[in-house]
Structure 1
Amino acid sequence: MNQMASVAARPQVLLSSRGRDWSHLYADLLAMPGGPVTVQDSRQTMLSVHVGAPLRVRCRIGDGPREDRLLLHGDIDILPAGASGEWFDEAPTTALVLRLAPDLLPRAAAELGLSRASLAPQVQLRDPRLVHLAWAMRAELSASDASGRLYADSLGMALAVQLLRGEGAPAAAADSGRGLAPAQRRRVAEHIAAHLEDDLSLDALSRVAGLGATQFKTLFRHSFGLPVHQYVIRRRVEQAKLLLLQGRMGLAEIALAAGFAHQSHMARSMKRLLGISPAQVRKAAG
Protein backbone atom coordinates (compact mmCIF):
# COMPACT_ATOMS: atom_id res chain seq x y z
CA MET A 1 0.00 0.00 0.00
CA ASN A 2 3.00 2.28 -0.49
CA GLN A 3 1.13 4.17 -3.21
CA MET A 4 -1.22 5.87 -0.75
CA ALA A 5 -0.88 9.63 -1.02
CA SER A 6 -2.72 10.24 2.25
CA VAL A 7 -4.21 8.19 5.03
CA ALA A 8 -5.49 9.21 8.47
CA ALA A 9 -2.89 6.99 10.15
CA ARG A 10 -0.51 4.44 8.72
CA PRO A 11 -2.01 0.96 8.31
CA GLN A 12 -0.53 -1.89 10.29
CA VAL A 13 0.93 -4.68 8.18
CA LEU A 14 -0.43 -7.97 9.54
CA LEU A 15 0.92 -10.26 6.82
CA SER A 16 2.99 -9.50 3.75
CA SER A 17 4.66 -11.12 0.75
CA ARG A 18 7.58 -8.73 1.17
CA GLY A 19 10.77 -10.66 1.71
CA ARG A 20 9.40 -13.60 -0.26
CA ASP A 21 10.49 -14.37 -3.78
CA TRP A 22 7.14 -13.53 -5.39
CA SER A 23 7.83 -12.18 -8.86
CA HIS A 24 4.51 -11.07 -10.39
CA LEU A 25 2.08 -10.67 -7.49
CA TYR A 26 2.44 -8.89 -4.16
CA ALA A 27 0.09 -9.09 -1.20
CA ASP A 28 -0.40 -7.33 2.14
CA LEU A 29 -3.00 -7.97 4.81
CA LEU A 30 -3.48 -4.56 6.39
CA ALA A 31 -5.26 -3.32 9.51
CA MET A 32 -6.66 -0.02 8.29
CA PRO A 33 -7.21 2.69 10.93
CA GLY A 34 -10.34 4.23 9.38
CA GLY A 35 -10.66 7.66 7.84
CA PRO A 36 -9.42 8.86 4.43
CA VAL A 37 -7.30 6.89 1.99
CA THR A 38 -6.16 8.31 -1.35
CA VAL A 39 -4.31 6.54 -4.16
CA GLN A 40 -2.89 8.77 -6.90
CA ASP A 41 -1.88 7.36 -10.30
CA SER A 42 -1.34 3.81 -9.12
CA ARG A 43 1.73 2.31 -10.78
CA GLN A 44 0.29 -1.20 -10.54
CA THR A 45 -3.14 -2.72 -10.83
CA MET A 46 -4.46 -2.96 -7.28
CA LEU A 47 -7.22 -5.03 -5.72
CA SER A 48 -8.52 -4.39 -2.21
CA VAL A 49 -10.56 -7.22 -0.69
CA HIS A 50 -12.62 -6.35 2.40
CA VAL A 51 -12.04 -8.68 5.33
CA GLY A 52 -14.43 -8.80 8.29
CA ALA A 53 -17.63 -7.13 9.45
CA PRO A 54 -19.77 -4.84 7.23
CA LEU A 55 -18.38 -1.32 6.93
CA ARG A 56 -19.82 1.94 5.60
CA VAL A 57 -17.52 3.56 3.04
CA ARG A 58 -17.62 6.68 0.86
CA CYS A 59 -15.55 6.41 -2.28
CA ARG A 60 -14.80 7.98 -5.64
CA ILE A 61 -12.76 6.57 -8.52
CA GLY A 62 -11.09 9.13 -10.80
CA ASP A 63 -13.53 11.92 -11.71
CA GLY A 64 -16.57 9.74 -11.07
CA PRO A 65 -19.32 10.48 -8.56
CA ARG A 66 -18.93 9.92 -4.83
CA GLU A 67 -20.71 6.80 -3.63
CA ASP A 68 -21.89 5.76 -0.19
CA ARG A 69 -22.02 2.03 0.22
CA LEU A 70 -21.95 -0.83 2.71
CA LEU A 71 -18.84 -2.94 2.23
CA LEU A 72 -19.29 -6.67 2.93
CA HIS A 73 -16.78 -9.43 3.61
CA GLY A 74 -15.25 -10.45 0.28
CA ASP A 75 -16.20 -7.28 -1.62
CA ILE A 76 -13.46 -6.25 -4.07
CA ASP A 77 -12.40 -2.83 -5.32
CA ILE A 78 -10.25 -2.81 -8.47
CA LEU A 79 -8.02 0.15 -9.34
CA PRO A 80 -6.20 -0.28 -12.68
CA ALA A 81 -2.67 1.02 -13.17
CA GLY A 82 -2.70 4.76 -13.78
CA ALA A 83 -6.04 5.31 -12.04
CA SER A 84 -6.73 7.29 -8.85
CA GLY A 85 -9.24 6.77 -6.08
CA GLU A 86 -10.45 8.16 -2.76
CA TRP A 87 -12.01 6.24 0.12
CA PHE A 88 -13.29 7.20 3.55
CA ASP A 89 -13.75 4.27 5.96
CA GLU A 90 -16.10 5.09 8.81
CA ALA A 91 -14.35 2.66 11.17
CA PRO A 92 -11.14 0.62 11.40
CA THR A 93 -11.13 -2.38 9.12
CA THR A 94 -8.95 -5.04 7.54
CA ALA A 95 -8.10 -5.27 3.84
CA LEU A 96 -6.19 -7.75 1.73
CA VAL A 97 -4.40 -5.59 -0.84
CA LEU A 98 -3.10 -7.33 -3.96
CA ARG A 99 -0.79 -5.63 -6.47
CA LEU A 100 -0.04 -7.05 -9.92
CA ALA A 101 3.35 -6.49 -11.52
CA PRO A 102 3.03 -4.39 -14.72
CA ASP A 103 3.87 -7.32 -17.00
CA LEU A 104 1.34 -9.78 -15.58
CA LEU A 105 -1.86 -8.61 -17.29
CA PRO A 106 -0.18 -8.27 -20.74
CA ARG A 107 1.19 -11.81 -20.41
CA ALA A 108 -2.24 -13.16 -19.47
CA ALA A 109 -3.84 -11.22 -22.34
CA ALA A 110 -1.37 -12.70 -24.84
CA GLU A 111 -2.21 -16.21 -23.67
CA LEU A 112 -5.92 -15.47 -24.04
CA GLY A 113 -5.37 -14.13 -27.55
CA LEU A 114 -6.25 -10.54 -26.65
CA SER A 115 -4.63 -7.57 -28.35
CA ARG A 116 -4.68 -5.47 -25.18
CA ALA A 117 -4.89 -5.93 -21.43
CA SER A 118 -7.18 -3.23 -20.09
CA LEU A 119 -9.35 -3.17 -16.98
CA ALA A 120 -12.03 -0.76 -15.88
CA PRO A 121 -12.18 0.47 -12.27
CA GLN A 122 -14.74 -1.40 -10.21
CA VAL A 123 -16.08 -0.99 -6.69
CA GLN A 124 -17.80 -3.59 -4.52
CA LEU A 125 -17.31 -6.36 -7.05
CA ARG A 126 -18.63 -9.77 -6.06
CA ASP A 127 -16.74 -12.50 -7.91
CA PRO A 128 -16.51 -15.96 -6.28
CA ARG A 129 -13.47 -16.99 -8.34
CA LEU A 130 -11.51 -13.84 -7.52
CA VAL A 131 -12.41 -14.19 -3.84
CA HIS A 132 -11.31 -17.84 -3.85
CA LEU A 133 -7.92 -16.79 -5.23
CA ALA A 134 -7.66 -13.95 -2.74
CA TRP A 135 -8.29 -16.25 0.23
CA ALA A 136 -5.73 -18.71 -1.16
CA MET A 137 -3.18 -15.88 -1.19
CA ARG A 138 -4.09 -14.90 2.35
CA ALA A 139 -3.66 -18.51 3.48
CA GLU A 140 -0.26 -18.65 1.75
CA LEU A 141 0.85 -15.50 3.60
CA SER A 142 -0.03 -17.01 6.97
CA ALA A 143 1.19 -20.57 6.33
CA SER A 144 4.14 -21.73 8.40
CA ASP A 145 5.17 -24.00 5.53
CA ALA A 146 4.50 -21.71 2.57
CA SER A 147 4.37 -23.41 -0.83
CA GLY A 148 6.78 -20.92 -2.36
CA ARG A 149 7.34 -19.12 -5.63
CA LEU A 150 5.73 -21.65 -7.96
CA TYR A 151 2.45 -21.49 -6.07
CA ALA A 152 2.50 -17.69 -5.93
CA ASP A 153 3.22 -17.55 -9.68
CA SER A 154 0.26 -19.84 -10.35
CA LEU A 155 -2.07 -17.76 -8.19
CA GLY A 156 -0.93 -14.55 -9.86
CA MET A 157 -1.53 -15.84 -13.38
CA ALA A 158 -4.92 -17.26 -12.40
CA LEU A 159 -5.87 -13.89 -10.90
CA ALA A 160 -4.83 -12.00 -14.04
CA VAL A 161 -6.77 -14.38 -16.31
CA GLN A 162 -9.90 -14.11 -14.17
CA LEU A 163 -9.68 -10.30 -14.15
CA LEU A 164 -9.52 -10.23 -17.94
CA ARG A 165 -12.36 -12.73 -18.27
CA GLY A 166 -14.40 -10.43 -16.08
CA GLU A 167 -13.83 -7.80 -18.76
CA GLY A 168 -15.29 -10.08 -21.41
CA ALA A 169 -12.23 -12.04 -22.47
CA PRO A 170 -13.13 -15.48 -23.87
CA ALA A 171 -12.70 -18.51 -21.65
CA ALA A 172 -10.22 -21.13 -22.79
CA ALA A 173 -11.63 -23.89 -24.93
CA ALA A 174 -12.34 -27.18 -23.19
CA ASP A 175 -9.17 -29.21 -23.02
CA SER A 176 -10.88 -32.63 -23.20
CA GLY A 177 -8.25 -34.22 -20.98
CA ARG A 178 -5.28 -33.60 -23.28
CA GLY A 179 -1.93 -33.37 -21.54
CA LEU A 180 1.62 -32.49 -22.48
CA ALA A 181 3.16 -34.23 -25.46
CA PRO A 182 5.51 -37.09 -24.44
CA ALA A 183 8.61 -35.05 -25.32
CA GLN A 184 7.33 -32.05 -23.37
CA ARG A 185 6.49 -34.19 -20.37
CA ARG A 186 9.95 -35.76 -20.42
CA ARG A 187 11.74 -32.40 -20.74
CA VAL A 188 9.77 -30.86 -17.89
CA ALA A 189 10.19 -33.85 -15.56
CA GLU A 190 13.93 -34.00 -16.27
CA HIS A 191 14.31 -30.26 -15.75
CA ILE A 192 12.52 -30.39 -12.39
CA ALA A 193 14.60 -33.39 -11.26
CA ALA A 194 17.83 -31.64 -12.23
CA HIS A 195 16.92 -28.33 -10.56
CA LEU A 196 15.12 -29.31 -7.36
CA GLU A 197 17.57 -27.25 -5.31
CA ASP A 198 16.81 -24.14 -7.40
CA ASP A 199 13.99 -21.63 -6.95
CA LEU A 200 11.82 -23.01 -9.76
CA SER A 201 9.33 -20.62 -11.35
CA LEU A 202 6.22 -21.15 -13.44
CA ASP A 203 7.69 -19.01 -16.23
CA ALA A 204 10.86 -21.10 -16.43
CA LEU A 205 9.00 -24.42 -16.52
CA SER A 206 6.58 -23.08 -19.13
CA ARG A 207 9.52 -22.15 -21.35
CA VAL A 208 10.96 -25.66 -20.99
CA ALA A 209 7.69 -26.99 -22.40
CA GLY A 210 7.50 -24.24 -25.03
CA LEU A 211 4.09 -23.07 -23.80
CA GLY A 212 2.44 -20.09 -22.17
CA ALA A 213 2.02 -20.29 -18.42
CA THR A 214 -1.78 -20.68 -18.41
CA GLN A 215 -1.82 -23.48 -20.98
CA PHE A 216 1.17 -25.16 -19.33
CA LYS A 217 -0.56 -25.27 -15.92
CA THR A 218 -3.61 -27.02 -17.39
CA LEU A 219 -1.69 -29.53 -19.49
CA PHE A 220 0.77 -30.26 -16.70
CA ARG A 221 -2.05 -31.19 -14.33
CA HIS A 222 -3.59 -33.51 -16.93
CA SER A 223 -0.21 -35.18 -17.48
CA PHE A 224 1.02 -35.51 -13.90
CA GLY A 225 -2.25 -35.54 -11.95
CA LEU A 226 -1.14 -32.66 -9.70
CA PRO A 227 -0.71 -28.90 -9.91
CA VAL A 228 2.86 -27.88 -10.69
CA HIS A 229 3.75 -26.68 -7.19
CA GLN A 230 2.39 -29.83 -5.53
CA TYR A 231 4.32 -32.06 -7.94
CA VAL A 232 7.55 -30.19 -7.18
CA ILE A 233 7.00 -30.51 -3.41
CA ARG A 234 6.47 -34.25 -3.80
CA ARG A 235 9.67 -34.60 -5.83
CA ARG A 236 11.56 -32.63 -3.19
CA VAL A 237 10.22 -34.90 -0.46
CA GLU A 238 11.29 -37.95 -2.48
CA GLN A 239 14.77 -36.49 -2.96
CA ALA A 240 15.07 -35.65 0.74
CA LYS A 241 14.00 -39.18 1.67
CA LEU A 242 16.67 -40.65 -0.62
CA LEU A 243 19.38 -38.45 0.90
CA LEU A 244 18.22 -39.31 4.42
CA LEU A 245 18.42 -43.03 3.69
CA GLN A 246 21.95 -42.59 2.32
CA GLY A 247 22.91 -41.13 5.69
CA ARG A 248 25.84 -39.03 4.47
CA MET A 249 24.47 -35.50 5.04
CA GLY A 250 23.03 -33.53 7.93
CA LEU A 251 19.34 -32.60 8.05
CA ALA A 252 19.87 -28.90 7.29
CA GLU A 253 22.15 -29.76 4.37
CA ILE A 254 19.62 -32.23 2.98
CA ALA A 255 16.82 -29.67 3.21
CA LEU A 256 18.73 -27.18 1.07
CA ALA A 257 19.93 -29.84 -1.37
CA ALA A 258 16.32 -30.96 -1.94
CA GLY A 259 15.13 -27.39 -2.53
CA PHE A 260 13.39 -26.63 0.76
CA ALA A 261 13.69 -23.19 2.31
CA HIS A 262 14.99 -24.66 5.58
CA GLN A 263 15.00 -27.79 7.72
CA SER A 264 11.61 -27.08 9.32
CA HIS A 265 10.03 -26.65 5.87
CA MET A 266 11.36 -30.07 4.89
CA ALA A 267 10.10 -31.65 8.11
CA ARG A 268 6.57 -30.25 7.74
CA SER A 269 6.33 -31.27 4.07
CA MET A 270 7.61 -34.78 4.80
CA LYS A 271 5.25 -35.23 7.74
CA ARG A 272 2.30 -34.09 5.62
CA LEU A 273 3.06 -36.33 2.64
CA LEU A 274 4.70 -39.37 4.25
CA GLY A 275 3.26 -39.24 7.75
CA ILE A 276 6.71 -39.47 9.35
CA SER A 277 9.49 -37.04 10.24
CA PRO A 278 12.98 -36.87 8.68
CA ALA A 279 14.43 -38.31 11.89
CA GLN A 280 12.07 -41.28 11.64
CA VAL A 281 13.09 -41.86 8.00
CA ARG A 282 16.75 -41.85 9.00
CA LYS A 283 16.07 -44.17 11.94
CA ALA A 284 14.25 -46.62 9.66
CA ALA A 285 17.38 -46.86 7.52
CA GLY A 286 19.09 -48.50 10.47
Structure 2
Amino acid sequence: MHSQSVPARFPPDVTMAFWHIEAGVHRLSRAAHHRIMVHASAATRSYCNEVGRYFVRRAGDIDLVPAGQEGGFETETPFDTIEIALQPALMERVAAELGGKARALPLDTRHLLRDERIQHLARALESDLGANSPSGSLFADSIGAALAVRLLGLENSDVERTNRLSNAQLKRVLEHIEAGLHEPLSIQRLSRVAGASSSHLRAWFKAATGFTLHRYVVRRRVERARALLRRGDLSTSEVAELTGFAHQSHLAHWMRREIGQTPRDLRRAQPK
Protein backbone atom coordinates (compact mmCIF):
# COMPACT_ATOMS: atom_id res chain seq x y z
CA MET A 1 0.00 0.00 0.00
CA HIS A 2 1.51 3.31 -1.10
CA SER A 3 0.62 6.81 0.07
CA GLN A 4 1.44 10.39 -0.64
CA SER A 5 0.82 12.55 2.42
CA VAL A 6 -0.10 16.18 2.66
CA PRO A 7 2.68 18.69 3.45
CA ALA A 8 2.86 19.89 7.05
CA ARG A 9 1.31 23.26 6.27
CA PHE A 10 -2.12 21.92 7.34
CA PRO A 11 -2.93 22.27 11.05
CA PRO A 12 -2.74 19.17 13.26
CA ASP A 13 -6.55 18.94 13.60
CA VAL A 14 -7.09 18.06 9.94
CA THR A 15 -4.71 16.32 7.53
CA MET A 16 -5.09 14.67 4.16
CA ALA A 17 -3.31 11.78 2.46
CA PHE A 18 -3.63 10.12 -0.92
CA TRP A 19 -3.48 6.33 -0.95
CA HIS A 20 -3.00 3.88 -3.78
CA ILE A 21 -4.28 0.46 -2.68
CA GLU A 22 -3.04 -2.61 -4.51
CA ALA A 23 -5.29 -5.61 -5.12
CA GLY A 24 -5.20 -8.11 -2.27
CA VAL A 25 -5.85 -8.38 1.45
CA HIS A 26 -5.29 -5.33 3.65
CA ARG A 27 -5.57 -4.60 7.35
CA LEU A 28 -6.72 -1.21 8.58
CA SER A 29 -5.04 -0.70 11.94
CA ARG A 30 -6.36 1.42 14.79
CA ALA A 31 -5.62 5.14 14.63
CA ALA A 32 -5.92 7.97 17.14
CA HIS A 33 -7.88 10.08 14.65
CA HIS A 34 -11.19 9.77 12.81
CA ARG A 35 -10.77 8.78 9.16
CA ILE A 36 -12.92 9.92 6.24
CA MET A 37 -12.04 7.80 3.20
CA VAL A 38 -13.31 9.13 -0.14
CA HIS A 39 -13.09 6.66 -3.02
CA ALA A 40 -11.26 8.22 -5.98
CA SER A 41 -11.35 5.47 -8.62
CA ALA A 42 -13.82 3.71 -10.86
CA ALA A 43 -16.10 1.03 -9.45
CA THR A 44 -14.09 -1.32 -7.22
CA ARG A 45 -15.43 -4.52 -5.67
CA SER A 46 -14.07 -5.48 -2.28
CA TYR A 47 -14.95 -7.72 0.65
CA CYS A 48 -15.21 -6.16 4.11
CA ASN A 49 -14.12 -8.50 6.91
CA GLU A 50 -15.84 -6.40 9.56
CA VAL A 51 -19.38 -6.95 8.34
CA GLY A 52 -18.79 -10.03 6.18
CA ARG A 53 -20.11 -8.66 2.90
CA TYR A 54 -19.07 -7.43 -0.50
CA PHE A 55 -19.11 -3.74 -1.35
CA VAL A 56 -18.83 -2.00 -4.69
CA ARG A 57 -17.27 1.41 -4.16
CA ARG A 58 -17.66 4.08 -6.80
CA ALA A 59 -15.99 7.47 -7.14
CA GLY A 60 -17.23 9.69 -4.33
CA ASP A 61 -18.34 6.88 -2.00
CA ILE A 62 -17.33 7.62 1.59
CA ASP A 63 -16.26 5.35 4.44
CA LEU A 64 -16.09 6.71 7.98
CA VAL A 65 -13.77 4.95 10.44
CA PRO A 66 -13.88 6.41 13.98
CA ALA A 67 -10.76 6.76 16.11
CA GLY A 68 -9.73 3.52 17.77
CA GLN A 69 -11.54 1.34 15.24
CA GLU A 70 -9.81 -1.17 12.99
CA GLY A 71 -10.91 -3.21 10.02
CA GLY A 72 -9.87 -5.35 7.14
CA PHE A 73 -10.81 -5.82 3.52
CA GLU A 74 -9.86 -7.62 0.34
CA THR A 75 -10.01 -5.73 -2.95
CA GLU A 76 -10.20 -7.40 -6.34
CA THR A 77 -8.53 -4.52 -8.22
CA PRO A 78 -6.21 -1.61 -7.30
CA PHE A 79 -7.81 1.72 -6.45
CA ASP A 80 -7.06 5.21 -5.15
CA THR A 81 -8.61 6.85 -2.12
CA ILE A 82 -8.35 10.16 -0.30
CA GLU A 83 -8.05 9.99 3.49
CA ILE A 84 -8.96 12.98 5.63
CA ALA A 85 -7.95 12.64 9.26
CA LEU A 86 -9.83 14.57 11.93
CA GLN A 87 -8.58 14.70 15.50
CA PRO A 88 -11.10 13.78 18.23
CA ALA A 89 -10.26 17.05 19.99
CA LEU A 90 -11.68 18.96 17.02
CA MET A 91 -14.85 16.87 17.09
CA GLU A 92 -15.21 17.48 20.83
CA ARG A 93 -14.79 21.22 20.44
CA VAL A 94 -17.35 21.39 17.66
CA ALA A 95 -19.78 19.17 19.60
CA ALA A 96 -19.43 21.40 22.66
CA GLU A 97 -20.17 24.45 20.53
CA LEU A 98 -23.22 22.78 19.00
CA GLY A 99 -24.49 21.61 22.37
CA GLY A 100 -27.54 19.37 22.72
CA LYS A 101 -27.25 15.71 21.75
CA ALA A 102 -24.15 16.18 19.63
CA ARG A 103 -21.78 16.15 22.59
CA ALA A 104 -22.79 12.69 23.79
CA LEU A 105 -23.10 10.89 20.45
CA PRO A 106 -20.16 8.64 19.47
CA LEU A 107 -19.29 8.22 15.82
CA ASP A 108 -20.19 4.94 14.16
CA THR A 109 -18.35 3.14 11.39
CA ARG A 110 -20.19 3.90 8.16
CA HIS A 111 -19.78 2.44 4.68
CA LEU A 112 -20.77 3.69 1.23
CA LEU A 113 -22.05 7.08 2.29
CA ARG A 114 -23.13 9.34 -0.55
CA ASP A 115 -22.94 12.84 0.89
CA GLU A 116 -22.51 15.84 -1.40
CA ARG A 117 -21.44 18.13 1.43
CA ILE A 118 -18.57 15.88 2.52
CA GLN A 119 -17.53 15.40 -1.11
CA HIS A 120 -17.54 19.17 -1.67
CA LEU A 121 -15.43 19.81 1.44
CA ALA A 122 -12.98 17.06 0.47
CA ARG A 123 -12.59 18.53 -3.03
CA ALA A 124 -12.02 21.98 -1.56
CA LEU A 125 -9.29 20.65 0.72
CA GLU A 126 -7.72 18.71 -2.15
CA SER A 127 -7.81 21.74 -4.45
CA ASP A 128 -6.19 23.91 -1.83
CA LEU A 129 -3.45 21.35 -1.40
CA GLY A 130 -2.71 21.40 -5.11
CA ALA A 131 -2.77 25.20 -5.45
CA ASN A 132 0.46 27.15 -5.83
CA SER A 133 -0.81 29.79 -3.41
CA PRO A 134 -2.61 27.83 -0.67
CA SER A 135 -5.17 29.54 1.54
CA GLY A 136 -3.36 28.62 4.73
CA SER A 137 -4.33 27.12 8.07
CA LEU A 138 -7.48 29.25 8.47
CA PHE A 139 -9.00 27.64 5.38
CA ALA A 140 -8.08 24.13 6.52
CA ASP A 141 -9.42 24.90 10.01
CA SER A 142 -12.75 25.96 8.56
CA ILE A 143 -12.93 22.85 6.36
CA GLY A 144 -12.15 20.63 9.34
CA ALA A 145 -14.83 22.30 11.46
CA ALA A 146 -17.37 21.99 8.65
CA LEU A 147 -16.57 18.29 8.28
CA ALA A 148 -16.96 17.81 12.03
CA VAL A 149 -20.36 19.51 11.96
CA ARG A 150 -21.47 17.28 9.11
CA LEU A 151 -20.29 14.08 10.78
CA LEU A 152 -22.05 14.98 14.01
CA GLY A 153 -25.16 15.70 11.98
CA LEU A 154 -25.01 12.30 10.31
CA GLU A 155 -25.19 10.60 13.67
CA ASN A 156 -28.43 12.49 14.39
CA SER A 157 -30.02 11.44 11.10
CA ASP A 158 -30.98 8.19 9.44
CA VAL A 159 -31.11 9.72 5.97
CA GLU A 160 -28.11 7.77 4.74
CA ARG A 161 -29.54 4.55 6.15
CA THR A 162 -32.72 4.71 4.04
CA ASN A 163 -33.19 3.16 0.63
CA ARG A 164 -30.65 0.42 1.20
CA LEU A 165 -30.34 -2.91 2.95
CA SER A 166 -29.05 -2.92 6.51
CA ASN A 167 -25.95 -4.97 7.23
CA ALA A 168 -28.12 -7.56 9.01
CA GLN A 169 -30.54 -7.84 6.08
CA LEU A 170 -27.80 -8.24 3.50
CA LYS A 171 -25.93 -10.74 5.64
CA ARG A 172 -29.10 -12.87 5.95
CA VAL A 173 -29.63 -12.83 2.18
CA LEU A 174 -25.99 -13.68 1.40
CA GLU A 175 -25.93 -16.52 3.93
CA HIS A 176 -29.20 -17.89 2.57
CA ILE A 177 -27.82 -17.81 -0.97
CA GLU A 178 -24.65 -19.64 0.10
CA ALA A 179 -26.68 -22.33 1.86
CA GLY A 180 -29.06 -22.75 -1.08
CA LEU A 181 -26.77 -22.73 -4.12
CA HIS A 182 -27.73 -26.33 -4.86
CA GLU A 183 -31.46 -25.60 -5.11
CA PRO A 184 -33.81 -23.11 -6.82
CA LEU A 185 -33.74 -19.62 -5.30
CA SER A 186 -36.65 -17.29 -6.03
CA ILE A 187 -36.95 -13.55 -5.49
CA GLN A 188 -39.99 -14.21 -3.30
CA ARG A 189 -37.99 -16.52 -1.07
CA LEU A 190 -35.09 -14.09 -0.74
CA SER A 191 -37.49 -11.20 -0.11
CA ARG A 192 -38.94 -13.06 2.86
CA VAL A 193 -35.43 -13.67 4.18
CA ALA A 194 -34.55 -9.98 3.81
CA GLY A 195 -37.84 -8.70 5.17
CA ALA A 196 -38.25 -6.40 2.16
CA SER A 197 -40.45 -6.25 -0.91
CA SER A 198 -39.12 -7.94 -4.04
CA SER A 199 -38.80 -4.62 -5.90
CA HIS A 200 -36.88 -3.04 -3.02
CA LEU A 201 -34.66 -6.07 -2.62
CA ARG A 202 -33.71 -6.02 -6.31
CA ALA A 203 -32.72 -2.36 -6.22
CA TRP A 204 -31.05 -2.38 -2.81
CA PHE A 205 -29.11 -5.60 -3.45
CA LYS A 206 -27.62 -4.20 -6.63
CA ALA A 207 -26.75 -0.93 -4.85
CA ALA A 208 -24.93 -2.90 -2.13
CA THR A 209 -23.09 -5.48 -4.24
CA GLY A 210 -22.95 -4.11 -7.77
CA PHE A 211 -24.71 -7.24 -9.08
CA THR A 212 -28.31 -8.10 -9.80
CA LEU A 213 -29.58 -10.91 -7.61
CA HIS A 214 -29.60 -13.32 -10.53
CA ARG A 215 -26.07 -12.48 -11.61
CA TYR A 216 -24.75 -12.73 -8.05
CA VAL A 217 -26.32 -16.17 -7.56
CA VAL A 218 -24.96 -17.39 -10.92
CA ARG A 219 -21.51 -16.06 -10.05
CA ARG A 220 -21.47 -17.84 -6.68
CA ARG A 221 -22.69 -21.06 -8.31
CA VAL A 222 -19.90 -20.87 -10.85
CA GLU A 223 -17.32 -20.20 -8.15
CA ARG A 224 -18.60 -23.16 -6.13
CA ALA A 225 -18.58 -25.36 -9.24
CA ARG A 226 -15.01 -24.37 -10.06
CA ALA A 227 -13.89 -25.36 -6.56
CA LEU A 228 -15.67 -28.73 -6.79
CA LEU A 229 -14.27 -29.46 -10.26
CA ARG A 230 -10.74 -28.74 -9.07
CA ARG A 231 -11.15 -31.36 -6.35
CA GLY A 232 -11.45 -33.94 -9.12
CA ASP A 233 -13.59 -36.48 -7.23
CA LEU A 234 -16.96 -35.60 -8.81
CA SER A 235 -18.31 -35.91 -12.33
CA THR A 236 -19.38 -32.79 -14.18
CA SER A 237 -23.03 -33.82 -13.94
CA GLU A 238 -22.69 -34.24 -10.16
CA VAL A 239 -21.09 -30.80 -9.88
CA ALA A 240 -23.89 -29.27 -11.95
CA GLU A 241 -26.49 -30.82 -9.66
CA LEU A 242 -24.69 -29.70 -6.48
CA THR A 243 -24.46 -26.11 -7.69
CA GLY A 244 -28.02 -25.60 -8.93
CA PHE A 245 -27.47 -25.93 -12.68
CA ALA A 246 -30.00 -27.83 -14.78
CA HIS A 247 -27.42 -29.98 -16.57
CA GLN A 248 -23.79 -30.06 -17.75
CA SER A 249 -24.39 -27.79 -20.73
CA HIS A 250 -26.08 -25.23 -18.49
CA LEU A 251 -23.06 -25.28 -16.18
CA ALA A 252 -20.61 -25.00 -19.09
CA HIS A 253 -22.54 -22.07 -20.58
CA TRP A 254 -22.38 -19.99 -17.41
CA MET A 255 -18.80 -20.94 -16.58
CA ARG A 256 -17.74 -19.77 -20.02
CA ARG A 257 -19.60 -16.47 -19.52
CA GLU A 258 -18.37 -15.83 -15.98
CA ILE A 259 -14.78 -17.07 -15.95
CA GLY A 260 -14.00 -17.84 -19.59
CA GLN A 261 -13.49 -21.55 -18.94
CA THR A 262 -15.64 -24.65 -19.26
CA PRO A 263 -15.52 -27.70 -16.96
CA ARG A 264 -13.47 -29.48 -19.64
CA ASP A 265 -10.98 -26.58 -19.71
CA LEU A 266 -10.56 -26.80 -15.92
CA ARG A 267 -10.03 -30.53 -15.96
CA ARG A 268 -7.44 -30.26 -18.74
CA ALA A 269 -5.55 -27.65 -16.73
CA GLN A 270 -5.37 -29.87 -13.65
CA PRO A 271 -1.92 -31.35 -12.95
CA LYS A 272 -1.69 -35.03 -13.80
TM-score (normalizing by structure 2): 0.54
Q: Is the 8 A contact 2:23 2:75 kept in 1?
A: yes
Letter in 1 for 2:150: Q
Q: Is the 8 A contact 1:105 1:117 kept in 2?
A: no
Letter in 1 for 2:59: H
Runs of 4+ in 1 over 3 A off after TM superposition: none
Q: CA deviation at 1:117?
A: 4.6
Letter in 2 for 1:32: I
Where do residues 155-194 of structure 1 align in structure 2 (5 Å cutoff)?
155-168=143-156
Q: CA deviation at 1:23?
A: 2.6
Letter in 1 for 2:152: L
Higher helix share: 2
Q: In 2, Cα distance between the equivalents of 1:166 and 1:106?
A: 15
Letter in 2 for 1:33: E
Q: In 2, Cα distance between the equivalents of 1:148 and 1:57?
A: 36
Residue 34, structure 1, aligned to residue 23, structure 2: yes
Residue 60, structure 1, aligned to residue 46, structure 2: no
Secondary structure of the residue that 1:103 maps to in structure 2?
helix
Residue 134, structure 1, aligned to residue 125, structure 2: no
Between the aligned residues of both structures, percent identity stands at 34
TM-score (normalizing by structure 1): 0.52
Q: Is the 8 A contact 2:41 2:80 kept in 1?
A: yes
Q: Is the 8 A contact 1:106 1:117 kept in 2?
A: no
Aligned position for 1:205: none
Q: CA deviation at 1:52?
A: 2.0
Letter in 1 for 2:125: M
- Report the structure number with the largest CA radius of gyration: 2
Q: In 2, Cα distance between the equivalents of 1:58 and 1:141?
A: 31
Letter in 2 for 1:120: D
Summarize the Cα distance change of 1:55–1:133 in structure 2 as closer, same or farther, 3 Å threshold.
same
Aligned position for 1:143: 131
Structure 1, gaps ≥5 residues long: 1-9, 170-286
Q: CA deviation at 1:142?
A: 1.2
Aligned position for 2:96: 110
Q: CA deviation at 1:155?
A: 0.2
Aligned alpha-carbon RMSD (Å)? 1.5
Q: In 1, Cα distance between the equivalents of 2:105 and 2:94?
A: 8
Q: In 1, Cα distance between the equivalents of 2:57 and 2:64?
A: 14
Q: Is the 8 A contact 2:22 2:79 kept in 1?
A: yes
Residue 48, structure 1, aligned to residue 40, structure 2: no
Summarize the Cα distance change of 1:44–1:12 in structure 2 as closer, same or farther, 3 Å threshold.
closer
Secondary structure of the residue that 1:134 maps to in structure 2?
helix
Aligned position for 1:76: 62
Q: In 2, Cα distance between the equivalents of 1:144 and 1:32?
A: 27
Aligned position for 1:258: none
Secondary structure of the residue that 1:29 maps to in structure 2?
strand
Q: Is the 8 A contact 2:105 2:155 kept in 1?
A: no
Q: In 2, Cα distance between the equivalents of 1:95 and 1:21?
A: 19
Q: Is the 8 A contact 1:43 1:81 kept in 2?
A: yes
CA displacement 1:127-158 (0-9 Å, x = unmatched): 11111111111111211111110000000000
Q: In 1, Cα distance between the equivalents of 2:103 and 2:88?
A: 16
Secondary structure of the residue that 2:103 maps to in structure 1?
coil
Q: Is the 8 A contact 1:23 1:153 kept in 2?
A: no
Aligned position for 2:188: none
Secondary structure of the residue that 2:20 maps to in structure 1?
strand
Q: In 2, Cα distance between the equivalents of 1:57 and 1:29?
A: 19
Aligned length: 155
Letter in 1 for 2:137: R
Q: Is the 8 A contact 1:44 1:101 kept in 2?
A: yes
Summarize the Cα distance change of 1:143–1:117 in structure 2 as closer, same or farther, 3 Å threshold.
farther
CA displacement 1:100-123 (0-9 Å, x = unmatched): 112011011111103325111001
Q: CA deviation at 1:36?
A: 2.0
Q: Is the 8 A contact 1:25 1:100 kept in 2?
A: yes
